[in-house]
Amino acid sequence: MTSRLVLAIVLVSGVLRAGLQEVKAEPNLGKRSALALDNAFNALTQARDAYTKGESAQVETFTKEIKESVELAETSLHETGKNPRKSPKWFKRAESSTRDLLRRLDAFQQSMDVADRAALDAVKVKVQQVHDDLLEGVLEGKQK
């Protein structure tokens, strides 16, 4: 039984890594940020499913994937070198997506047992920080 669980965790983390590696291969930095955020939403869905099945190790793997995806989206947008105020297309999409991701993370956290909720705190802090930076960039034109 435990060997099957370990095998499942390894396979799932390999699939997620492949997904994130495919995102990193996207040459268009704007599209890369959108794909990274899509990957974060997929990881959140998988984390929720794993939690309902009682697989806490997979939940941790998926929350790391969410954080890494959001970080990749942020760095991809900064690597464009564009001013978010003058070229808001990808920045505004990312801001909107991170806002939605925060709402979904909060809903997921509220549905968890009180003892398990701390597992999402670090991810929520990172997503909130990226969202705030994107919003400030779009509204004030600053590149953080």
Burial per residue of 52-72, b for 16 or more beta-carbon CB atoms within 10 angstroms, e otherwise: eeebeebbebbbbbbbbbbeb
pLDDT tens for residues 100-138?
999 999 999 999 999 999 999 999 999 999 999 999 999
Q: Is 134 helix (H, G, I), strand (E, B) or coil?
A: helix
pLDDT at 6: 46
Domain boundaries, the chain: 2-140
pLDDT at 16: 45
pLDDT tens for residues 17-54?
457 899 999 999 999 999 999 999 999 999 999 999 99
pTM of the predicted model, to two decimals?
0.82
- 30 in Cβ contact with 84 (< 8 Å): no
pLDDT tens for residues 46-68?
999 999 999 999 999 999 999 99
Closest CA to 102 of 41, 32, 144, 27: 41
HSE-up of residue 92 (Cα within 13 Å, Cβ side): 9
* Helix 121-140 vs helix 89-111: crossing angle, to nearest 10: 150
